[in-house]
Amino acid sequence: MQWYRERNASAAGVFLTEIDRAIEKIAEAPEAWPPYIGGTRRFVLRHFPFSVVYREVRASIEVIAIAHARRKPGYWKDRIAVL
């Protein structure tokens, strides 16, 4: 977010809006997106090179990472705590 904000405030706003939209869609139907690494699922953003990586925990959604698509896959895996 800060990277976009430093370069273009408008792009930062669009990025934040797209993240919010993704989380709303995930909350509506968490199983709609395919399984991913370590028991997570992944929602790929349409206009930015990021994915929302999440998992279902009891009756809620836990966002693990807003993961950049061009970084090493699974770089965020150490954020997954065992329940």
Q: Which of 59, 57, 47, 46 is nearest to 81 (CA)?
A: 57
Rounded Cα distance, 12 and 36, in Å: 27
* Domain at 2-79: CATH code: 3.30.2310.20
1-12: per-residue pLDDT in tens? 566 767 777 888
| Domain spans in the chain, listed from the N-terminal domain onward | 2-79
22-50: per-residue pLDDT in tens? 999 999 999 999 999 888 999 999 999 99
Find all residues with CB under 8 Å of 38, minimum gap 6, and list them. 74, 77, 80
Looking at the DSSP assignment, which residues form a beta bridge with residue 10?
none
Q: Is the pTM of this model over 0.75?
A: yes
**So what's the pLDDT on residue 37?**
87
